Structure 1
Amino acid sequence: MRKLLPLLSTSTHAGGRSALTCRFRCGDACFHEVPNTSDNEYVGDVIAGALSRRSMMRAAAVVTVATAAGTGVAMSGAPAAEAATATDTFGRADGARGLRFAPVAPNTADQVTVPAGYSQSVVIRWGDPILRGAPAFDAKNQTAAAQAGQFGYNNDFLALLPLDDSYARRQVLVSNHEYTDEVLMFANYDADNPTREQVEIAWAAHGLGVVVVQEDHRSGKLTPVRRHELNRRLTATSEFRLTGPVAGSDLVKTSADPTGTKVLGTLNNCSGGTTPWGTTLHGEENFNQYFANGGAVTEPVQAARLKRYGIGGAASERKWERFDKRFDVLQEPNEVNRFGYVVELDPYDPTSTPRKHTALGRFKHEGAQPRLTEDGRPVVYTGDDERFDYFYKFVSSKRMKKGTSRAARAHNLTLLDEGTLYVAKLTGDSPVAEIDGSGKLPADGEFDGTGVWIPLATATADGAVSHVEGMTAEEVFVFTRQAGDKVGATKMDRPEDIEPSPRTGRVYVALTNNKDRGAAGKAAADEANPRNANKHGQILELAEHWNDPAATGFAWRLFLVAGDPNDPATYFAGFPKDKVSPISCPDNVAFDAHGNLWISTDGNQLGSHDGLFGVATRGDRRGELKQFLTVPRGAETCGPLVQDRRVLVAVQHPGEIDGASVENPQSVWPDGPGKIVRPAVVAVYRTDGGNIGV
């Protein structure tokens, strides 16, 4: 019998994220008071209430009928997983199509480790020049002006978009630059007294990047085309436009922008999405950490709103408020209301002003991935990355126009400004007593149930309507978390990236972890979040009724319950657990052309470095999960992008280990000893030039 891949018993940063990561990436979010103190009923509580087990089973039956009609999205009736046959070698020739590679073993190597038969190369690093006039990177003499023309820091979400045929084998690479690690960027950095130049460099290192890349036709290797006309940097001081129902509202007006429509900068962009009309979406996530003096606000309504978004304390970590008053909520109370949205960028128009779409709500957006209804209306799924917060979808009321004409592109840029914003409420179908917080499967063999999308507000060309009692539409779109509280949305274990399968229509939600699940005074385990003190996370799979993205009902089940496969509290869609790789803390997800789900991790709590995994979502190998790569010491795997001939990952915050600094580096990746540690984008491809995993 094939043995499980070995787990590591020790690690240089065992126990998940380092304290340094928590400090700079999210402002120690998981070590502050949970912002959601609402008393929503939990999944298990609903069972004993108005929605009976029988009524839920009837709702699930609707989805099963849909499968009989040919939609293929029912939660019941999926093919049972079978043990691997054929050679049973767990090598490249064995596995689901697209996953035929020898899995990488868990490890703590200070490198990107890839399967046998695969090669890798760095596509672009922090500081590489991409704009005309930008100098070569010099860590000892970096300036804000130089950084504004160079690739930004801590790359996250990645997209590759096609170019016209006249640019043979060229594509447009778009990247988020989520946050900065000042202690790893600046020698002798004084966190209590940053200089203006250091702050302005950090402003220029945040944001978004666009760079054209050239493919080597033999290997799949990608090389930046420096100074291409489409290359672009958007930073913390670039102009962005507020659009949708909140644009012009008194809630977003500031002394610098009395119109409430023009915002400088985008912050903490995490994951994102690519639209069918050729633009990219970027989620503003942990924006709260950049704002100071929230704890000094005494007006009760404003104080409660700030607290619900985790904005408290005095000085911020980076002390930006010393150099720009907009980061001080005492001086500019509305500036914070201008962050926390989904940003849309047109990578093909370097003169365009990116939009912040307020109709998709304001919270810690991990990402935003759209799909189309049958009549061409986009539906966007988004998660709020916080313990006990919610996941959402937005259904547009406008249809996409096909083509690339100027009129079609102008119309499509407005698609996400009108429509209805919903929040998810889930109900389990097992008795409460069977969900004991241990992760033990209930008697029916699955964590599953039904759910509803609760409408929060609808935006139209003529205005907006609230569906939440006691809140105006503008309040719903700006203080979306409170709206979710009021309607009783289901508290989840850090919902992050959400992706609909292009093959089946099923939607997959990455739930990273929640150390406070089941703690005193906190929400206990429920069927969708079945483990107390949840260290490893899970992935939820849901099927919209009739496979209609605009439906207000769905069936759901847990696809994966992550962790050590030797742990009885783990689950891999029923696939034999002696044939899977261990996985912990799923974060970003993406699909390949074969319908396999690829999962990147953040904060692995099994002793190994974070990595990228592929898992089959259908067929007799459903649940077969293999590790494709691991990243260097202190790094996180971000932005996975899987094409036929290559896999791209954003290696974020390498060397981000407690005690690390420029003077005391904890990683030598990617350029070796004596060089400053630099986040970078890596391409992985088969050495023989063939397609990935086949």
Structure 2
Amino acid sequence: MTQTPTDRRHLPMAGLTHGNRNPVTCHLRCGDACSFTPPNTTDNDYFRDVATRALSRRRTLGLAGAGAVALGVAATTASPAAARPGRAIAGKPGGKYPHTKPGKPGKPGRSRLLFTPVAPQPADTDSVGVPAGYRWDTIVRWGDPILPGAPGFDASDQTQESAEGQFGYNCDYLDIIETNSKGTRALLVANHEYTNEEIMFPPGTDPETVVRVALASHGMSVVELRRARRGDAWSYIPGAPKNRRITAETPFTFDGPVRGSALLRTAEDPRGVTVRGTLNNCAGGTTPWGTVLSGEENFNQYFLAAGTDVRESRYGLGPTQDSRGWRNVDERFDATSEGYRNEPHRFGWIVEVDPTDPSSTPVKHTAMGRFKHEGANVIVNDDGHVVAYMGDDERFDYVYRFVSRKKLRKGNSPGARRHNLGLLSEGDLSVAKFIGDGLEDGVSDGIGRWLPLTRAGRSMVAGMSLEEVLVFTRLAADKAGATKMDRPEDVEPNLVNGHIYVACTNNTDRGKAGKEGPTEPNPRNANKDGHVVEMIPHKGDHTLERFRWNLLLICGDPGTAGTYFGGYEGPVSPISCPDNVAFDSVGNLWVSTDGQPSSTSRCDALFKVPVAGPQRGRVQQFLSVPAGAETCGPVVRDTDGEGSVFVSVQHPGDGGTWESPTSFFPDYVTGSAGRGEFKGPRPSVIQVRRA
């Protein structure tokens, strides 16, 4: 086995990316997904009808000119009537998390995090840009020792054992969960999505060591934090009792209807109840009972598979995906092997981890379905049922909802905690169908329905068993007739107004020959900038079948034809490719980006967007991340003397190499370096606070 560096000339996405996106990132994070035909090849008549009706109305309204692809949604220079937001039904907030203080539903508020928007940074700027009066600090970096006895970071002498005790690579989802009333202790929980071996290892490193360290650098980290008082910078505590690393080797257990199914059995696990590790963990969410949910996303790229079965090809599995060569070190990654054909079925789930108990076994919830989970975020309905919203991050894939069978028990008694830890093990899974109501009102909006996939422990999809629906959820949603979306990534409920916000990152395949064209919920051909959908549960009840929806943002450079900023007509910051979302204490939406395709390429960033009142849709840039990096996992804290924003700075310097780095974030070590001193970039969690 030999390790060969990435051949930049033959990267599948070379020449196909936009703006600041590096083809190396596409190759390593999602297996060059956008270079392949989208795995959803279904052709539902509903979508042709919608597109035909919408385009007909465009012509009627005189909007069929070149570039006017927003299907009646005006640019920021449009008349007030055309730019107003869609109709909204005031929602009711659900349960609140231990570390948030929701305001009143439907009432616009003013965040305590006041700032002057920053200007975009050119894509080659290797620094963190923050507003005047703010500063940034690093909390924890790739390779920092977190477990007792873990060695200090030495990039030139990495081992599997050292990596298992250190903070992992490419942090994504993030939360800071305060654990005492003074706000001076907390748990930091982060995902580690993927690895970039060209930056991580010096040339000539033993290939098996590379794989073993990469396996140990995936997964999740739990790290204890401390500070002197609220508003101060956090620091992490090496060797603290609750510190934990979860890797691609950590034992997990399955629960729910598919536990023990023949579809999960392998030579290593003939009972189908346990699995080693979690892979490609992207976004997530924190539950009201204090656990963290993590989404397994682009798992297909780790496996060699035949790809001849639709149950494989619909998930992007195939013979060209195994560029990492992990099967040469661990045979379970060879899904062409008779004993491991089902191994890919054991990934693509929502994972639940209890960060307060480092001895607990993480769980994969089969009742919540298997697809390329960006994450899962929950809200407690007024009747006590827990509702989780999820996106499937693929071009032309779907938005999902899970409603627990049992209800939340309040309090922190042992009995209540045991009960709540099982809430995601049983429930009903459904998928969203968005229906446009026409463009006569001048906006993209309409009604929607949740199409049932499972109900009361039974399959609701003809010809598919319950186990098949949950293991091959994409196929079940195809049959149900769900709406194809433009890469629905983070899907989060706003605890202030009870609405749900869907970040649709982009879809440059929309409208290509043989592929679906514009629809009201996905209004642009070759959608390179993405958009944000606002969903309003009927009567504020998250368990009902009906909802309303509208487009809050159609992203891009202000003034560009087809963009829309919630009806706001003043100056806004340019924004593209919305990815992760978060909310502050008064319900403002915060959006982090993943790619900034523009005529002048710029760094990725974090933005604040009011969702109600006269400033609804006013996009304001709060920070920029360094060259090559993506802004991930935003956390906003603006109550009780706190005024901080946290982000994971993922894949800084992607496109560089060990010998020729393109970023030096966060330590900015340049020139000659001694042993143990790393000159390249280190993915990190940072805190931005008032100076």
* TM-score of the alignment, normalized to the shorter chain, above 0.5: yes
1:524-535 alignment to 2 at 5 Å? Answer: 524-535=517-528
Question: Structure 1 residues 33 and 411 mapped into 2: Cα distance closer, same or farther (>3 Å)?
Answer: same
> Are residues 1:129 and 2:148 paired?
no
Following TM superposition, by how much is the alpha carbon of 1:44 offset from its aligned partner in structure 2, in angstroms? 6.3
> Are residues 1:180 and 2:195 paired?
yes
Following TM superposition, by how much is the alpha carbon of 1:293 offset from its aligned partner in structure 2, in angstroms? 3.2
> Are residues 1:588 and 2:580 paired?
yes
Look up the match of 1:437. Answer: none
Task: Decide whether the 8 Å contact of 1:180 with 1:205 is kept in 2.
Answer: yes
Task: Decide whether the 8 Å contact of 2:219 with 2:277 is kept in 1.
Answer: yes
- What is the distance in 2 between the residues matched to 1:526 and 1:375? 34
The one-letter code sitting in structure 1 at the alignment partner of 2:413 is S
> Are residues 1:558 and 2:560 paired?
no
Look up the match of 1:649. Answer: 647
> Are residues 1:663 and 2:656 paired?
no
Spell out, residue by residue over 1:53-103, the C-alpha distance to the aligned partner (whole angstroms, 9 max, x if none).
Answer: 9xxxxxxxxx98965xx8599xxxx9999xxxxxxxxxxxxx953463111
Look up the match of 2:80. Answer: none
The one-letter code sitting in structure 2 at the alignment partner of 1:615 is V
Spell out, residue by residue over 1:142-198, the C-alpha distance to the aligned partner (whole angstroms, 9 max, x if none).
Answer: 111000000000000001112145x860001000001111111011168xxx71111
Could you list the runs of 5+ residues in structure 2 that have no partner in the other structure?
1-16, 58-85, 95-104, 672-678
Look up the match of 1:490. Answer: 483
Task: Decide whether the 8 Å contact of 1:451 with 1:553 is kept in 2.
Answer: yes
The one-letter code sitting in structure 1 at the alignment partner of 2:280 is N
- What is the distance in 2 between the residues matched to 1:213 and 1:140? 28
Look up the match of 1:501. Answer: 494
Following TM superposition, by how much is the alpha carbon of 1:458 offset from its aligned partner in structure 2, in angstroms? 2.8
Look up the match of 1:15. Answer: 19
Task: Decide whether the 8 Å contact of 2:300 with 2:321 is kept in 1.
Answer: no
Task: Decide whether the 8 Å contact of 1:174 with 1:208 is kept in 2.
Answer: yes
Task: Decide whether the 8 Å contact of 2:431 with 2:477 is kept in 1.
Answer: yes
- What is the distance in 2 between the residues matched to 1:285 and 1:401? 30
Look up the match of 1:106. Answer: 120
The one-letter code sitting in structure 2 at the alignment partner of 1:100 is L
- What is the distance in 2 between the residues matched to 1:485 and 1:315? 24
Task: Decide whether the 8 Å contact of 1:163 with 1:171 is kept in 2.
Answer: yes
Task: Decide whether the 8 Å contact of 1:42 with 1:526 is kept in 2.
Answer: no
- What is the distance in 2 between the residues matched to 1:276 and 1:427? 32
- What is the distance in 2 between the residues matched to 1:621 and 1:326? 53
Task: From 461, 475, 478, give the equivalent of 2:468.
Answer: 475
- What is the distance in 2 between the residues matched to 1:134 and 1:622? 48
Question: Structure 1 residues 596 and 168 mapped into 2: Cα distance closer, same or farther (>3 Å)?
Answer: closer
Task: From 30, 33, 36, give the equivalent of 2:34.
Answer: 30
1:667-678 alignment to 2 at 5 Å? Answer: 667-672=663-668, 673-674=670-671, 675-678=679-682
Q: TM-score, normalised by structure 2?
A: 0.86
The answer to which of 482-491 and 100-109 deviates more is 100-109
The answer to which of 105-114 and 402-411 deviates more is 402-411
Following TM superposition, by how much is the alpha carbon of 1:620 offset from its aligned partner in structure 2, in angstroms? 1.4
The one-letter code sitting in structure 2 at the alignment partner of 1:678 is R
- What is the distance in 1 between the residues matched to 2:557 and 2:18? 14
Task: From 503, 508, 512, give the equivalent of 1:510.
Answer: 503
- What is the distance in 2 between the residues matched to 1:507 and 1:79? 13
- SS of structure 1 residue aligned to 2:406: coil
Look up the match of 1:420. Answer: 428
Look up the match of 2:361. Answer: 353
Following TM superposition, by how much is the alpha carbon of 1:446 offset from its aligned partner in structure 2, in angstroms? 1.0
Following TM superposition, by how much is the alpha carbon of 1:46 offset from its aligned partner in structure 2, in angstroms? 5.2
- What is the distance in 2 between the residues matched to 1:546 and 1:631? 40
Look up the match of 1:290. Answer: 302
The one-letter code sitting in structure 2 at the alignment partner of 1:135 is P
The answer to which of 129-138 and 313-322 deviates more is 313-322
- What is the distance in 2 between the residues matched to 1:567 and 1:36? 30
Following TM superposition, by how much is the alpha carbon of 1:315 offset from its aligned partner in structure 2, in angstroms? 6.1
The one-letter code sitting in structure 1 at the alignment partner of 2:274 is K
Following TM superposition, by how much is the alpha carbon of 1:211 offset from its aligned partner in structure 2, in angstroms? 0.3
Task: From 137, 156, 160, give the equivalent of 2:176.
Answer: 160
Residue identity (%):
52
Look up the match of 1:277. Answer: 289
1:47-446 alignment to 2 at 5 Å? Answer: 67=90, 96-98=110-112, 100-108=114-122, 109-165=125-181, 169-188=184-203, 195-217=207-229, 219-295=231-307, 303-314=309-320, 316-331=322-337, 332-430=340-438, 442-446=439-443
- What is the distance in 1 between the residues matched to 2:617 and 2:221? 35
- SS of structure 1 residue aligned to 2:407: coil
- What is the distance in 2 between the residues matched to 1:207 and 1:216? 30
- What is the distance in 2 between the residues matched to 1:80 and 1:421? 31
- SS of structure 2 residue aligned to 1:481: helix
Task: Decide whether the 8 Å contact of 2:304 with 2:327 is kept in 1.
Answer: yes
- What is the distance in 1 between the residues matched to 2:228 and 2:370? 41
Following TM superposition, by how much is the alpha carbon of 1:384 offset from its aligned partner in structure 2, in angstroms? 0.2
Spell out, residue by residue over 1:564-603, the C-alpha distance to the aligned partner (whole angstroms, 9 max, x if none).
Answer: 1120210000001x41100000000000001100000001
Look up the match of 2:625. Answer: 631
- What is the distance in 2 between the residues matched to 1:247 and 1:397? 17
Spell out, residue by residue over 1:243-293, the C-alpha distance to the aligned partner (whole angstroms, 9 max, x if none).
Answer: 101100000011111111101000000000010111110000001100013
Question: Structure 1 residues 200 and 445 mapped into 2: Cα distance closer, same or farther (>3 Å)?
Answer: same
CA RMSD of aligned residues (A): 2.3
Look up the match of 1:448. Answer: 445
- What is the distance in 1 between the residues matched to 2:348 and 2:18? 31
Spell out, residue by residue over 1:218-257, the C-alpha distance to the aligned partner (whole angstroms, 9 max, x if none).
Answer: 7421100111100000000000111101100000011111
Task: From 667, 676, 689, give the equivalent of 1:685.
Answer: 689
Spell out, residue by residue over 1:457-484, the C-alpha distance to the aligned partner (whole angstroms, 9 max, x if none).
Answer: 135xxxx310000100100000000001
Task: Decide whether the 8 Å contact of 1:43 with 1:527 is kept in 2.
Answer: no
Task: Decide whether the 8 Å contact of 2:51 with 2:517 is kept in 1.
Answer: no
Question: Structure 1 residues 154 and 554 mapped into 2: Cα distance closer, same or farther (>3 Å)?
Answer: same
The one-letter code sitting in structure 2 at the alignment partner of 1:307 is S
- What is the distance in 2 between the residues matched to 1:452 and 1:618? 24
Following TM superposition, by how much is the alpha carbon of 1:405 offset from its aligned partner in structure 2, in angstroms? 2.3
Look up the match of 1:84. Answer: none
Following TM superposition, by how much is the alpha carbon of 1:216 offset from its aligned partner in structure 2, in angstroms? 4.0
The one-letter code sitting in structure 2 at the alignment partner of 1:624 is R
Q: TM-score, normalised by structure 1?
A: 0.86
Q: How many residues align?
A: 617
Look up the match of 2:676. Answer: none
- Extract structure 1 runs of 4+ deviating beyond 4 A: 46-49, 63-67, 70-73, 78-81
- What is the distance in 2 between the residues matched to 1:41 and 1:137? 56
Question: Structure 1 residues 71 and 176 mapped into 2: Cα distance closer, same or farther (>3 Å)?
Answer: closer
Following TM superposition, by how much is the alpha carbon of 1:676 offset from its aligned partner in structure 2, in angstroms? 2.3
The answer to which of 369-378 and 582-591 deviates more is 369-378
Spell out, residue by residue over 1:429-487, the C-alpha distance to the aligned partner (whole angstroms, 9 max, x if none).
Answer: 11xxxxxxxxxxx442211011100000135xxxx310000100100000000001001
